[in-house]
Chain A
Amino acid sequence: DTGVSQDPRHKITKRGQNVTFRCDPISEHNRLYWYRQTLGQGPEFLTYFQNEAQLEKSRLLSDRFSAERPKGSFSTLEIQRTEQGDSAMYLCASSLDFSGARTDTQYFGPGTRLTVL
């Protein structure tokens, strides 16, 4: 088990460009989450998937953000028309939810650090 992986680890882009990040969860995990973290803050929830279904999105998530998990395995997070305020660490986490258990522990990937110039 290689854990949660994210690609790229770092991304520098110019304002107005689109960016896409990829997350590969732990193989048997059915839940996948995206968070955003800025310096001095805890991770802020963006969205999550149960298998391929996107079940919840934060009200803070702008229309410029979209996420997919087409086959219930890897996921992508796209940010369109990036703004300087989008600069942050984007974290992906996965967990195994079995029998509707409420205690699924999230395992985080190393994150993608986005810098918008």
Chain B
Amino acid sequence: GQNIDQPTEMTATEGAIVQINCTYQTSGFNGLFWYQQHAGEAPTFLSYNVLDGLEEKGRFSSFLSRSKGYSYLLLKELQMKDSASYLCAPQGAGGSYIPTFGRGTSLIVHP
């Protein structure tokens, strides 16, 4: 089975930096996705990590440590529109490689 742990809610100030952590235990592992989901909308793809290390993409970066079962999403220069839920989704290694989604971290950005 899969066990995914990420904080339920975080708050941050506009312009600041926030790090959303995710730990996981999976039966096999291939990679890890991060998705953003605004209230009432569908999830949208942010990043995918398969190797250890940091992947940077504009204001968003994602880190993976396969040996520790740990990932984080780093958001810089926060904007109000970044208020959303952030879903950590590790991908199993067997069969279809379908990711399993965590319950998400609700990020609230305030002025």
Contacts and interface: CB of A to CB of B under 8 A. Distances in A.
Interface residues of B, number: 23
Secondary structure type dominating chain B contacts: loop
Given A102-B91, A103-B31, A44 B101 contact: yes
Give the size category of A's interface with B: 20 to 34
Q: Which of A42, A55, A106, A111 has the most CB of B within 10 A?
A: A42
Given A42-B101, A44-B101, A91-B42, A103 B96 contact: no
B100 A45 contact: yes
Contacts of B45: 105-107
Interface of B: 30-31, 33, 41-45, 48, 50, 87, 89, 91, 95-104
24 contacts: A33-B98, A40-B103, A40-B104, A42-B87, A42-B103, A43-B43, A43-B87, A43-B101, A44-B101, A45-B98, A45-B100, A48-B96, A48-B98, A55-B96, A56-B98, A91-B42, A91-B43, A102-B91, A102-B97, A103-B31, A104-B97, A106-B45, A109-B42, A111-B42
